Chain A
Amino acid sequence: MEMHIVSMATVTGTLLRRCSRLSAAAAPLSTSARALGGGGLPTVVERHGNRMVIGYGFNGEPNYIDRVDYPIPAVRFKEDNAQIKVLREKERGDWKKLTKEEVQELYRATFCRSFAEMQAPTGEWKLVLGGTMLACSIAVWIYLFMKVFVYEKLPDTITNPEKVEAQVQRMIDLRMNPVQGIASEWDYEKGQWKN
């Protein structure tokens, strides 16, 4: 079963006027500055619609967001419909009389996702790993293409063993890199490689 987070973009001109005129006990709490003015025509859409404001929220705006570090958002998740209103009346009485389904119904009216759902693994790592390996394999294919079609053959100063031997003999004669390099591997008294 899938749910979508939808922003409630209902124009609530009557709501704004109601906020300013109703007695304090009945009006819903609102952190929004738009509700403070009251009177006159509404100029901004109240994005949270009829949803009850229950707190400050993580940034002071009447939004809903699932966060494990800020678990109680500013507004309830769902607007109160007739079904929920019935449950809310029942909620005022003894909670032992509420069935498990009703408690879940009330929970889902206030919250979109439970903690378990917020923290559920997404499997995104498979996408990332697969994408990375795909990119690496493309790189390897490009290298093979270059080797076969682009690069010239290696010169015979590298491929011909006699020429390589002559070059190494020259390095030994000139005492090249005598401390740690190639000439240090040659034993000059015995005339052979050190082992």
Chain B
Amino acid sequence: MIRNAFSRALVAGRAGFLQLAPQSASVAGCRHMSKVAESDEQLTARYVQYFESKDIDHWWLSKHINDLAGTDAVPEPDIIKACLHACRRLNDIAMAVRFMEIVHFKCGNRVKEIYPYVLQEVGPTLKELGIPTPEELGMDKPQLALEDVYDM
């Protein structure tokens, strides 16, 4: 059997997953139609566990961030902190900045109320890890323009 990167990632992912809380079947819980909906605290605890696992890799980081982006919620500061530490372990500052942009986006039309609170809670972690916020980088305004494919 040719041992290649894909099967390694699958094994690592499964091993990392088994260490977590005993969930059955799917990872994101999107097929649990017959089960009781989990509470916000459970969701927070679950994602904090995901991001805190020591052997997280890019695949799982992407997956969990994309799942969070798909939930109808702003991630809790605990989740954000755990995710930023996970990005640090993976030496990927681009993901950290992108994640802060995602949090800003998830605030929706109440961004003026929620985002300052998030920055206040998560600010110490950002300083500690040395991650600039998108505003500090000037990325809260468009910087580059991309030509539309229909105009080419």
Contact = CB atoms under 8 A, between A and B. Distances in A.
A91 B93 contact: yes
Contacts of B92: 91, 110
Nearest to A31: B6
Interface string A46-84: 000000111110100000000011111010000000000
Contacts of A39: 2
B144 A113 contact: yes
Contacts of A20: 2, 4
Contacts of B70: 69-70
A110 B94 contact: yes
A95 B98 contact: no
A71 to B, nearest CB: 5
Contacts of B94: 103, 106-107, 109-111
B142 interface: yes
A188 B53 CA distance: 95
B141 A94 contact: no
Given A1-B145, A55-B59, A100-B137, A72 B4 contact: no
A120 B142 contact: yes
B94 to A, nearest CB: 4
A4 B140 contact: no
B98 A71 contact: yes
Contact of A114 (B3, B8, B62, B134): B134
B58 A54 contact: yes
Given A24-B8, A110-B94, A29 B58 contact: yes
A36 interface: yes
Interface residues of A, number: 55
Contact of A113 (B9, B57, B61, B146): B146
Contact of A29 (B59, B98, B134, B145): B59
A104 interface: yes
Contact of B66 (A71, A95, A111): A71
B97 A2 contact: no
Most chain-A Cβ atoms within 10 A of its Cβ — which of B65, B105, B134? B105
Interface of B: 2-6, 8-9, 57-59, 61-63, 65-66, 69-70, 88, 91-95, 97-98, 101-102, 104-105, 129-132, 134, 136-137, 139-149, 152
The 8 closest A-B pairs by CB, nearest first: A55-B62, A96-B130, A95-B130, A27-B5, A24-B8, A110-B94, A72-B62, A54-B58
Interface of A: 1-5, 19-20, 22, 24-25, 27-31, 35-36, 38-39, 52-56, 58, 68-72, 74, 88, 91-92, 94-98, 100, 103-104, 106-107, 109-117, 120, 122
Given A29-B57, A110-B95, 18 more contacts: A2-B147, A24-B4, A24-B5, A35-B5, A38-B4, A55-B63, A56-B59, A71-B98, A94-B130, A103-B93, A104-B137, A106-B93, A107-B97, A114-B143, A115-B102, A117-B142, A117-B145, A120-B145
